[in-house]
Amino acid sequence: MFTELGPFVLDSDLKVTLNPYSFNRAANIIFIEQPVGVGFSYPNVPANDNTTAKDTVVALRNFLRMHPELQHRPFYVMGESYGGHYVPNTVKEVQQTNKDKPPGDVINITGFAVGNGYTDWGLDFNANVENGRFHALTSQSLFETAETACNGSYARCFWPRDDVECPKECGDAVTAATVNAMDDSIDIYDIYEDVCLDPSQERLQTQATVLLGEHRKSLRALHKRRRTRATISPIFPTCIDNFSARYLNDPDVQKSIHVLPSTIPNNKWSDCGNVDYDFNYESELVNYQQWVKDGDLEILIYNGDTDFILSHMGNSAWINKGLNLPKHAEWKKWRGSDGQVAGYFEQYETSGLPLTFLTVKGAGHMVPRDRPRHALDMFASFLLGGLYDKVGKESETGLCQK
């Protein structure tokens, strides 16, 4: 709502202005906190992909019953980061529960989009060592040492899990090859951005930091020192996460939006809270395999190309190696409404609608924050059926003051 694709922007004085590139310029947007216990949602209980999907779809159906005029409109699901699991599981739950509903209660699921998402543990996190080398974060010799020691299998040591062995030689080589990315000196979610150096601002937990900090066992000590990310966005100021936290923890703000203080964990708003979430190592590829076989959903997989943690290389790997689809359209550029090259995309054949893989040039883990105008261009094109190379040129939209 305040730091990415939503309608509002906060400055250091907590003054609220309007985001001219908010996604609600192109569609009606419903924000749902996932999983229960984050932000202002409650209660704070253990959760996993299944419970989160079920809770979300119950909420969606209740919302649509309250707004029957929206019931049969095309419906899309969109998310980023661990949304690579949230989104597919939500879509699957919608499809499964639609089968038992009367026509008036069916959600018209049309498509979904996932940005910089975690989809397949082995293929997503096998890309980090190579991604670091290709972005000049390590030397050729350190890369080659890791390649030899790990025999090209890096995920088992870059993102360790209890049921997969990480050989010491491989682990040492992966650590050496990724230390410049992971030692807290740069922003791992956008390697070209600066970090927020304001010592008066506390470190915040976000979905991205929890995703890394809770499950990268070998680098927890390093990650505890993560600084809040900065931004080079033309819309969102540096340290925007801190401004949003201060704003949402203001008692007057909480009162005005009807928050019940007794329901806020630790009496304090935080992006992720302290949810006990069962991190899912199972691949989502089986769901994608069914969807490309059916061919009736519009699917967009997009990546900011400067993200180190969940890179375009990892997402491209699971699409190519995991789905093994023939090409529908080869890699080509797409331009934003400002006429600039905004990134590149390719499309893959399914039994129906093509699957699109797209990059956003110069964006990191949070695409709408880093490249707000191009993110809106991408989103609007997605809703129009994927006309990414036919974005019309428009004049600049100024930031609205209020």
Choose the catalytic residue: 22, 41, 81, 270. 81
How many Å separate Cα 288 from the centre of its chain? 18
Rounded distance, CA 216 to CA 174, Å? 13
Rounded distance, CA 197 to CA 21, Å? 27
**Cα separations (Å) of 60 from 28, 30, 336?**
13, 9, 32
DSSP-derived letter for residue 118 is -
Q: Is 307 a catalytic residue?
A: yes
CB 146 within 8 A of CB 177: yes
β-pairing verdict for 327-335 and 341-348: antiparallel
- For residue 146, give the H/E element and its range: helix 140-150
User: How far is it between the farthest Cα atoms of the chain?
Assistant: 62
Across 219-241, b (16+ Cβ under 10 Å) vs e yields beeeeeebbbbbbebebbebbbb
- For residue 298, give the H/E element and its range: strand 298-304
Tell whether the torsion through CA atoms of 145, 141, 125 and 348 is positive or negative.
negative
Beta bridge partners of 358: 302, 345
Taking phi over 0 as left and psi of -120 to 50 as alpha, with beta for the rest, 169 belongs to: alpha
Q: Is 365 a catalytic residue?
A: yes
Tokens (6 digits) for 19: 């985001």
**Cα separations (Å) of 352 from 77, 259, 293, 359?**
19, 45, 8, 23
Rounded distance, CA 128 to CA 279, Å? 19
Tokens (6 digits) for 370: 């880093």
Q: Is 81 a catalytic residue?
A: yes
Rounded distance, CA 365 to CA 189, Å? 5
End-to-end C-alpha distance for the chain, whole angstroms: 16
Picking from 246, 206, 211, the residue whose alpha carbon sits closest to that of residue 229 is 206
Residues with catalytic roles: 81, 307, 365
